Structure 1
């Protein structure tokens, strides 16, 4: 029988990483609109977004662990 164990710390960390990506695109980047640094900041946010998405995927993977339980008659 397969039992799923949830690590809430990693689950919350993954959600926070995704929220940081959303914040960067919706709140932080528009502050630089119209300035000469906009393209540089956008490129940095693209790189950081890709890294944070990779971290979120790994954290979701670690958060949900499958454990195979042994029947009670086996030792």
Structure 2
């Protein structure tokens, strides 16, 4: 999990402001935040995938069977 980037004070202000919204506005805000979270996860997955591909191209990865993996882990 990533480190916190928002101060507690800022987060508390956000929550307090959210409490004052109408139900409809809360639902809208929830959907916006949900979509932003989904996009952030996609970006993180994409970044990891690019790292994996780069490591594969550099020959930093191993391939084999599950048995081979267990053997490497035991060594």
TM-score, normalised to structure 2's length? Answer: 0.46
Structure ranking higher in helix proportion? 2
Q: Answer with 1 or 2: which has the greater Rg.
A: 2
Structure ranking higher in strand proportion? 1
| Larger RCO (CA under 8 A, 6+ residues apart) | 1
